[in-house]
Structure 1
Amino acid sequence: MRGWLLAWACACMPWLATAQGLPTAPVPKTAAAAAKDYLADAKRIVDTAAQPAAPWNGPRTGPRAQPGKHLAVVAEDLRNGGIVGVIDGVLEAAKVIGWDVKIFDDGGAPDLQLKMLATALASRPDGLIIVGSDAHTLLPGLELFAKARIPIVGWHVASRAGPVPGTPVAMNVSTDPLEVARVTALAAIVQSGGHARAVIFADPNYHISRDKANEMAAVVRACSGCTLLEVRNVPISQSQELMPGTTRALLARYGSRWTYALAINDIYFDYAAPVLTQAGLPNAAMTMLSAGDGSDSAFLRIRTGTFQTGTVAEPLSLHGWQLVDEMNRLLAGESVTGYVFPVHLVTAENIGADGGDRLLYDPANGYRDIYRRIWQRP
């Protein structure tokens, strides 16, 4: 997947080089020819992302299960389907590896985040998993775990997968957020034939959200026939309260000019779609695509053709298993793997594969059996 993106960026996206301060060569093509090439390369990237899950290319060796461990899991908000899916994966993997898990939920309230961390620390865990929060925001609380030599891993806690610089988080488990954002925006461009008029929804409180929104905006702006109407900031924790009114206001402002809604998370569409229905919009009048996480409601909308046509779904259960494996390596005194799972776009055409019949993305690549063999667990 990364190879396609790099090839496309180098061959067809001089705007990317300019943004990074690199020299660009003149492109001796007419605007129409350049736009046609742009769409063709975008379609190749989108088609690649929509393929069934590839065979497992992650770790196959590692330390056996460390016995009798106790994990604390601090969740950003258990109303978020992505977070719940990851924690379900953690619980499933913890049962196999033989660990106890205690879950702490801050409900998306900023003033409760550090309190939940303090409560989790008081439970005297052997390891901490943080799910959905911003690692830099939590730094004062995380430093107390580091001082107690309690290892930390997280899911979607920074803008990049891997160790989180400047924090004690040894591994941020995630697909590549920027690739997720690019594929989402490119899918909108391909589906619109290069004429998307888009609003992007983002949460201003998290680095990963801002970076994904900025990346989607850059891709839309690079499409000569597309229009970025605006980037609208709505905190995920307030989406239920704010999205209905926000959607009505955007409809009043842009009317039929607004044809595509892009979001950093499916949850925004849970509250926007009913407003579109109430406003009498036919499904073809608005297209929704999400740069994460592949919620069950998103799968239902895609399956029924109710506005949403795609979600770049996270392999939530797989990520839960990976979190447990990365923690097991740390508890065994070894390094994390740094593994990043490839980006996958769910559409109506492929929704029946890789867990789609259960309204989730669960790659059929045998990862559970592989982790069992690594841990030497039946």
Structure 2
Amino acid sequence: MKGLLVHWALACVQSVAVAQVVAVTPVSGVSAADSSDAVKAYLADARRVVDTAARAGAAWTGPRSGPRAQPGKRIALVNEDLRNGGILAVDEGVLEAAKVIGWSVKVFDSGGTLEGRKKMLADALASRPDGLIIFGGDAHALAPWLKPFADGGIPIVGWHVTAQAGPVPGTPVAMNVSTDPLEVARVTALAAIVQSGGHAGVVVFTDTNYELPMAKANAMAAVVRGCTGCTLLEVRDVPISRNAELMPGTTRELLARHGKRWTHALAINDIYFDYAAPVLTQAALPSNALSMLSAGDGSESAFLRIRKGTFQTGTVAEPLNLHGWQLVDEMNRLFAGEHVTGTVFPVHLVTAENIDADGGDRLVYDPANGYRDIYRRIWQRP
């Protein structure tokens, strides 16, 4: 990112710790010729970042050693909302890995509500698990309901439960498995800027109920604001749990308000586009009139839209099944009395050009890096 900031005609400062967007100040004393050269240099650097993220066949960067399988464990798996395709895909990865390592898993669905979270965590505790895995939600907000698990010596790991990957200070969550959300956001926004040649008109969709979506939205907004020829039209709050209800009307409203100025939609999750794309089709917009890019997950429907060229042009897909295996490995290390690995896998941008690689032919991002065999060897399982 350093090269981008050096060459760009505006300065965009972002605090990585909290993803806080701050003011952007124009650089004074820059001639028109110098400004044009700076823009060209910025776009070239941006393209390099995007092209790197879009490379297929990334090598394994995770652990190669660790404790053997701690068999016979009972795991409670508490999901924020199983209507979310990303959560469902990680669930499947956990179930696949648990079968290999020799664990039983009981699945709970909170349905995207506070009362649901409280009840499912209480039900999970009552099931007397050896370990708890939580998907989605906010680890800090859930801390009071996680405390009984910690008090009972039950280890906890999570997926997408805070704005940063790794251990979650101030909570009982030993490891938040995720790609780097700020890098995900940066690549998503830069892809829109590269596509537009530095003239994107952007609406960002987020969910202000959670720390992670807000961190990603703020990071995307910061990158767009740092582009002198781009326009951040607005950041729109649409709760993920109410997408089906709200996105069709929201999309129609934004089309009426912004018209042709709206060239790119950025969202913190592919699910927003599940309900926006039909509205765009009904409005008889050509498929290249609006480009949609998602900073997260890489759902089956997103792959289909990208493959067919139906408005969505990119998703920064996470290795969801791999993340399921990683969650099991991190939990196994805790059972064995060892530390978590803290592994964060590289960001990957799926586009029409690379969609057939790394599982794309099956409508998923499943890195061809041999992770299943590597974890089997670590656990000493056939």
TM-score range, shorter chain: over 0.9
Code of the residue aligned with 1:319 in structure 2: it is H
- 1:135 corresponds to which of 132, 135, 139: 139
For the structure 1 residues 79 and 34, does the alpha-carbon distance in structure 2 shift closer, same or farther, using more than 3 Å as the test? Answer: same
Is 1:249–2:253 an aligned residue pair?
yes
Between the aligned partners of 1:336 and 1:173, the Cα distance in structure 2 is 10
Between the aligned partners of 2:315 and 2:200, the Cα distance in structure 1 is 17
| 8 Å contact kept, 1:91–1:101 | yes
Q: Which runs of 5+ in 1 are unaligned?
A: none
Code of the residue aligned with 1:34 in structure 2: it is A
The answer for the alignment partner of 1:62 in structure 2 is 66
* 1:92-171 → structure 2 map (5 Å cutoff): 92-171=96-175
For the structure 1 residues 346 and 13, does the alpha-carbon distance in structure 2 shift closer, same or farther, using more than 3 Å as the test? Answer: farther
**SS of residue in 2 equivalent to 1:280:** coil
Moved over 2 A (4+): 5-14, 16-21, 24-29
Is 1:359–2:355 an aligned residue pair?
no
| 8 Å contact kept, 2:274–2:301 | yes
**SS of residue in 1 equivalent to 2:265:** strand
For the structure 1 residues 135 and 28, does the alpha-carbon distance in structure 2 shift closer, same or farther, using more than 3 Å as the test? Answer: same
Q: CA RMSD in A?
A: 1.8
Code of the residue aligned with 1:120 in structure 2: it is A
| 8 Å contact kept, 1:202–1:209 | yes
Is 1:15–2:19 an aligned residue pair?
no
Code of the residue aligned with 1:242 in structure 2: it is L
For the structure 1 residues 144 and 191, does the alpha-carbon distance in structure 2 shift closer, same or farther, using more than 3 Å as the test? Answer: same
Is 1:226–2:230 an aligned residue pair?
yes
**SS of residue in 1 equivalent to 2:166:** coil
The answer for the alignment partner of 1:335 in structure 2 is 339
For the structure 1 residues 75 and 27, does the alpha-carbon distance in structure 2 shift closer, same or farther, using more than 3 Å as the test? Answer: farther
Between the aligned partners of 1:375 and 1:169, the Cα distance in structure 2 is 22
Code of the residue aligned with 1:132 in structure 2: it is G
Between the aligned partners of 1:138 and 1:68, the Cα distance in structure 2 is 27
Cα offset, 1:9, TM superposition: 4.2
Between the aligned partners of 1:208 and 1:98, the Cα distance in structure 2 is 32
Between the aligned partners of 1:238 and 1:297, the Cα distance in structure 2 is 18
- 1:189 corresponds to which of 170, 189, 193: 193
Between the aligned partners of 1:36 and 1:190, the Cα distance in structure 2 is 11
- 1:88 corresponds to which of 63, 88, 92: 92
* 1:263-342 → structure 2 map (5 Å cutoff): 263-342=267-346
Deviations 1:325-377 (A, max 9, x none): 00000000000000000000000000000000000000000000000000000
Provide the TM-score with structure 2 as the length reference: 0.94
Q: Which runs of 5+ in 2 are unaligned?
A: 15-20
| 8 Å contact kept, 1:53–1:344 | no
Between the aligned partners of 2:54 and 2:266, the Cα distance in structure 1 is 18
Is 1:344–2:343 an aligned residue pair?
no
Deviations 1:243-267 (A, max 9, x none): 0000011111111111110000000
| 8 Å contact kept, 2:9–2:39 | no
- 2:76 corresponds to which of 72, 75, 98: 72
Tell me the number of residue pairs that the alignment of Structure 1 and Structure 2 aligns. Answer: 373
Aligned-pair identity (%)? 73
Cα offset, 1:13, TM superposition: 7.8
Deviations 1:61-88 (A, max 9, x none): 0000001100000000100000000000
Cα offset, 1:143, TM superposition: 0.8
Code of the residue aligned with 1:194 in structure 2: it is G
Between the aligned partners of 1:218 and 1:14, the Cα distance in structure 2 is 11
After the TM superposition, which of the residue ranges 32-41 and 358-367 deviates more from structure 2?
32-41
Code of the residue aligned with 2:258 in structure 1: it is Y
The answer for the alignment partner of 1:373 in structure 2 is 377
After the TM superposition, which of the residue ranges 128-137 and 168-177 deviates more from structure 2?
128-137
Cα offset, 1:33, TM superposition: 1.2
For the structure 1 residues 343 and 6, does the alpha-carbon distance in structure 2 shift closer, same or farther, using more than 3 Å as the test? Answer: farther
Code of the residue aligned with 1:106 in structure 2: it is S
Between the aligned partners of 2:98 and 2:84, the Cα distance in structure 1 is 21
Between the aligned partners of 1:329 and 1:175, the Cα distance in structure 2 is 20
| 8 Å contact kept, 1:76–1:133 | yes
For the structure 1 residues 109 and 6, does the alpha-carbon distance in structure 2 shift closer, same or farther, using more than 3 Å as the test? Answer: same
